[in-house]
Amino acid sequence: MEHIKKSIEYEWQATDLGEPSKIIGIEVTIMPGYLRISQGKYIENLLRKKNMAEANPVGMPLDPNIKIDPNPIHNKPNWSNSYAKLLGELQYLANTTRPDISYAVNKLGSYTAILSLEHYGSLKRILRYLVGTRDYGITHRKFNGQNKDMNLFHGLARNYGPANDGKDNLFHGFADAAFANADDYKSTTGYGFLASEGAITWKSKRQTIIVMYSTESEYITLLEARREAFWLRNLYDELGFPQMGPTVIKSDNEGSVILSHSPQFHAWTKHIEICHHWVRDLVNDKILDVQSCCDLEQTGDILTKPLPKPKHQRHRREMGMGAAE
Amino acid sequence: MGEPDGSRKRKRSVENPEDVDIEQPQRTRGLHPDYRYLSNPFGYKGEEEETNILEEIYAVIARDELNSLNEAKSSQDWPEWHKAIDEELKLLDEMGTWELVEKLLDAITIPNKWTFVKKRNMANQVVRHKVRLVMKGCAQRPGHKLTETYSPVVRAETLQACLALVPVEGLKVKQMDIKGAYLNGILQEIIYMRQPEGFGDGTSRVCKLIKTPYGLKQSGQEWNKQLDEKNEEPRIQKTHIRLMRICVMGW
């Protein structure tokens, strides 16, 4: 540490800021065995700017009971600057510290071209959700028995598996898909990776092709998750923390789990493109391990569909999100 | 829904229909004041105006920032700005950013301007007046002493993946700031700059750039090259280099 600092100071005119409290706008809190990133200040600014700091909070960013219509009153396309501007601000949040609004922002982003009041209302609902959760952030902590007990307390025994235990694996992931829930009958990809009890990367995205079976959409999600896992493994390898064991990815679709291990059901899966079978190759090479989990344990749900409040809160907690302690 | 082709040519039917034609490519400059109201699909004009006022008070970058040297000169805190300008000129001089030469006939000089930013603390009080001399990079043309501009920036995911290691592996986090980072880059091309706006020596000489000041298109890349070169030293381990690079790029 010291000699790196010295070498920087030797080369350039530098000032030492000590332990960071803010890195490129992200607030960081560091304690032994504990690290928390949040953007409370940014959210506060955003809410005040929109005059919604005192609004009534809601429990989840999108209402699962309301179906959003692409164009309910046949509006003409317009250049709505205010919608796109607010959406962009929320997108920045969703990409940096708030995976819980990721799906809602992604979904509403597809209506930017043809707007109606309904979409604008939904976007404001995200702001109302942020009112109640404005100081939430992602907490990373050292794994110990206590955390596990806490999870037991919350209802379900969690099987951590090999992912969280030894040093073999610093991170593990989950991959989920919602079949044909976008407006053009495309599916939604949602995957994320957790390290030290908190989310490090996540993605919520409408898939590019229309698929025939839900298994197929899950299989495509696995491919996306696999690409991310591969990159993360390389990154950690480069930083000097090589991953020995295979990276575990949880999927709640039995079909895609089986497909990723062996080429079965050829009659039903012969149309799946070859590139999507790359997953199988890596599973055989023990770089990746696809495990099945029950639906309730599938944290990826939060990235693929609007959820009712209890489920939303549960998955949010499992991504390491919560208020400051 | 099955309308005749002619209707696609219809102009906007909001306040100033003659201003904007949907068929025209979107302009990004010069349209802003009217565009703001035109773009509002629901006609909440009152709310928009209210928001604008609020933005002035609460925005991260408040609207009371200055846009030009003249504005700064006529503002109340000119003494502070003047002090900051002197500091910046001193830094540029220390770094050996340019040398003054007689202007050649065919030399194209790129103009520059001053930027003024008030640094605020959490309570929104001004703590520091920061001034920077920036080149007007928009005066550069691709192909003319400007080819490559690629410069990597840290991704949010990378930063988070690194920060997640901190509690598990018991790492220490330090933050450093390199003063006038871009001014360390060494310019490959011969580029001339006008003398600093409002602070020239009164002659017709121009600045021949040696280092890469802020605002030049290739500055980021040259600074990145410097980072690469200096990191080749064997006394720093590879992993540390990587971490350091991520850090330095991030800040």
What does the pLDDT look like over B66-84, one tens digit per residue?
A: 778 888 888 888 888 889 9
Helix, strand, or coil (residue A294): coil
- Residue B143: inside a domain, yes or no? yes
Instruction: Tell me the CA distances in angstroms from A255 to A133, A174, A209, B131, B142, one per residue in order.
Output: 37, 16, 19, 61, 53
Residues of A in Cβ contact (< 8 Å) with B156: 95-96
Asked if B83 contacts B193 with a C-beta cutoff of 8 angstroms, the reply is: no
Residues A138, A90, A53, CA angle at the centre, nearest 5°? 85
H/E stretch holding A222 reads helix A214-239
Check CB contact of A238 with chain B, cutoff 8 Å. Answer: yes
With an 8 Å Cβ cutoff, are A238 and B242 in contact?
A: yes
Task: Please state, in angstroms and rounded to a whole number, the distance separating the CA atoms of residues A214 and B32.
Answer: 46
Quick one: which of A14, A10, A34, A36 has its CA closest to A23?
A: A36
Handedness of CA B51, B56, B58, B60 (dihedral sign): positive
What part of A 244-303 touches B (C-beta under 8 Å)? none
- Residue B31: inside a domain, yes or no? no
Structure tokens belonging to residue B50: 């209210």
Check CB contact of B186 with chain A, cutoff 8 Å. Answer: no
- Residue B211: is its pLDDT beyond 50? yes
- Residue B125: inside a domain, yes or no? yes
Lowest-confidence segment of A104-118, B14-28, B98-112, B165-179 by average pLDDT: B14-28
Check CB contact of B123 with chain A, cutoff 8 Å. Answer: no
With an 8 Å Cβ cutoff, are A83 and B41 in contact?
A: yes
Number of domains forming the structure of chain B: 1
Lowest-confidence segment of A150-164, B54-68, B170-184 by average pLDDT: A150-164
Mean pLDDT of A197-205: 91
What part of B 62-121 touches A (C-beta under 8 Å)? none
For residue B118, the enclosing domain spans 50-250
Question: What is the pLDDT, as a whole number, of residue B102?
Answer: 87
Task: Please state, in angstroms and rounded to a whole number, the distance separating the CA atoms of residues B112 and A107.
Answer: 43
Helix, strand, or coil (residue B209): strand
- Residue B33: inside a domain, yes or no? no
Phi-psi region of B242 (alpha: psi -120 to 50; beta: other; left: phi over 0): alpha
Closest in A11, A74, A79 to B39, CB measured: A79
Interface predicted TM-score (ipTM): 0.82
Under the banding of pLDDT at 50, 70 and 90, the label for residue A80 is low
Lowest-confidence segment of A187-191, B14-18, B115-119, B194-198 by average pLDDT: B14-18
- Residue B178: inside a domain, yes or no? yes
- Residue B1: inside a domain, yes or no? no
- Residue B107: is its pLDDT beyond 50? yes
- Residue A231: is its pLDDT beyond 60? yes
Question: What is the pLDDT, as a whole number, of residue A1?
Answer: 66
Under the banding of pLDDT at 50, 70 and 90, the label for residue A142 is confident
- Residue B2: inside a domain, yes or no? no
Task: Please state, in angstroms and rounded to a whole number, the distance separating the CA atoms of residues B40 and B48.
Answer: 9
pTM assigned to the model: 0.77
- Residue B40: inside a domain, yes or no? no
